[in-house]
Chains A and B, each alone.
Chain A
Amino acid sequence: MIQIHNLAKQYGQRSVLKGVNANFRPGTTTLLSGNNGSGKTTLLKLIAGLAKPTSGLIEIDEHQGEPARISYVAHQTFLYPSLTAFENLAFWSKCYDLPDDGNQIYDILEEFNLLPFADTCTRSFSRGMSQRLNLARAFMLNPSILLLDEPFTGLDSPSQELLRQKLLDVREKGTCSILITHDIFHDASLADAVLRIEGGSLSDVSTETLQGSHPNLIDQFNPKSSTPCGGSV
Chain B
Amino acid sequence: MWRICLAIIQKDCTILLLRGSSVLHAILLGLLLIFTFSFSLSPGDTLSCQTSATIFWISSLFCLILLFNQLFAVEETNGQRFALSMLPSPPFLLWLAKTATGLGLLLISQLVFLPACIVFLGHAPSPNTFLITLANITITDLGICSLGSLLGALAQGQASKESLLSILLFPLLTPLLLAGISIHSQCMEGLQENISQWFTLATAFDCIFLASTSYFFSFIYSDDE
Least CB distance from B224 to A in Å reads: 5
Residues of A within 8 Å of B88, CB to CB, are: 67, 69, 96
Q: Is the CB of A76 within 8 A of B7?
A: no
Residue pair A83, B85 in contact (C-beta under 8 Å): no
Contacts of B10 in A (CB 8 A): 91
Residues of B within 8 A of A78 (CB): 78-80, 82-83
Given A52-B224, A83-B11, A72-B86 contact (CB < 8 Å): yes
Q: Is there contact, CB below 8 Å, between A92 and B83?
A: yes
Residues of B within 8 A of A83 (CB): 11, 14-15, 19
Contacting residue for B87 out of A11, A76, A80, A95, CB 8 A: A95
Residues from 166 to 201 in A contacting B, C-beta threshold 8 Å: none
Instruction: Return 30 A-B CB contacts under 8 Å, by A number.
Output: A49-B85, A49-B86, A50-B85, A51-B225, A52-B224, A69-B88, A74-B82, A77-B79, A79-B80, A80-B15, A80-B74, A80-B80, A81-B78, A82-B14, A82-B15, A82-B19, A83-B15, A83-B19, A87-B14, A91-B10, A91-B11, A92-B83, A94-B3, A94-B7, A95-B3, A95-B7, A95-B8, A96-B87, A97-B3, A97-B4
Q: Are A76 and B11 in contact (CB under 8 A)?
A: no
Q: List chain B residues, Cβ under 8 A from A70.
A: 86
B42 interfacial contact with A, CB 8 Å = no
Kindly list chain B residues whose C-beta atoms are within 8 Å of the C-beta of A75.
79
Contact B11 A50 (CB under 8 A): no
Partner of A74, one of B7, B77, B79: B79
Q: How far is the CA of A183 from the CA of B107 in the complex (A)?
A: 54
Across chains A and B, the number of contacting residue pairs, with CB separation under 8 Å, is 75
Given contacts A78-B78, A87-B14, contact A48 B3 (CB under 8 A): no
Judged by a CB distance under 8 angstroms, whether A155 is at the interface is no
Interface of A with B (CB < 8 Å)? 11, 45, 48-52, 67, 69-70, 72, 74-83, 87, 91-92, 94-97, 121
The answer to whether A51 touches B15 (Cβ under 8 A) is no
Give Cα A200–Cα B88 distance, bound, in whole angstroms.
30
Q: Are B7 and A80 in contact (CB under 8 A)?
A: no
Chain B interface size, as a band, is 20 to 34
Question: Is there an interface contact between A51 and B20, defined as CB atoms closer than 8 Å?
Answer: no
Contacts A52-B224, A81-B77, A91-B11 known; A121 to B86 CB distance under 8 Å? no
CB distance from A62 to the nearest CB of B (A): 12
With both beta carbons as reference points, the residue of chain B lying nearest to A91 in the complex is identified as B11
Q: CA–CA, A160 to B224, complex, Å?
A: 31
Can you name the residue of chain B whose Cβ is closest to the Cβ of A12? Answer: B225
Q: Find chain A residues with CB under 8 A from B3 CB.
A: 94-95, 97
Q: Are A50 and B77 in contact (CB under 8 A)?
A: no
Q: How far is the CA of A11 from the CA of B225 in the complex (A)?
A: 7
Residues of A within 8 A of B82 (CB): 48, 50, 72, 74, 76, 78
Q: Give the CA-CA distance A69 to B87 in the complex, in Å.
A: 9
One of B14, B78, B223 near A50 (C-beta < 8 A): B223
A79–B82 alpha-carbon span in the complex (Å)? 11
Residues of chain B within 8 A of A52, CB atoms compared: 224
CB pair B86 A91 closer than 8 Å: no
In the complex, what distance in Å separates the CA atom of A78 from the CA atom of B89? 18
* Chain B residues with CB under 8 A of A91: 7, 10-11
Given A87-B11, A96-B88, 17 more A-B residue pairs with CB atoms under 8 Å apart are: A48-B82, A49-B85, A50-B82, A51-B225, A52-B224, A72-B83, A76-B78, A77-B78, A78-B80, A80-B11, A80-B74, A81-B78, A83-B15, A91-B10, A94-B4, A95-B4, A95-B8
- Kindly list chain B residues whose C-beta atoms are within 8 Å of the C-beta of A82: 14-15, 19-20, 74
CA gap between A78 and B79 in the complex, in Å: 5
**B20 to A: closest C-beta gap in Å:** 6
B224 touches A51 (CB 8 A): yes
Q: How far is the CB of A75 from chain B (nearest CB, A)?
A: 8
Instruction: Determine the chain A residues whose CB is within 8 A of the CB of B85 once the complex forms.
Output: 49-50
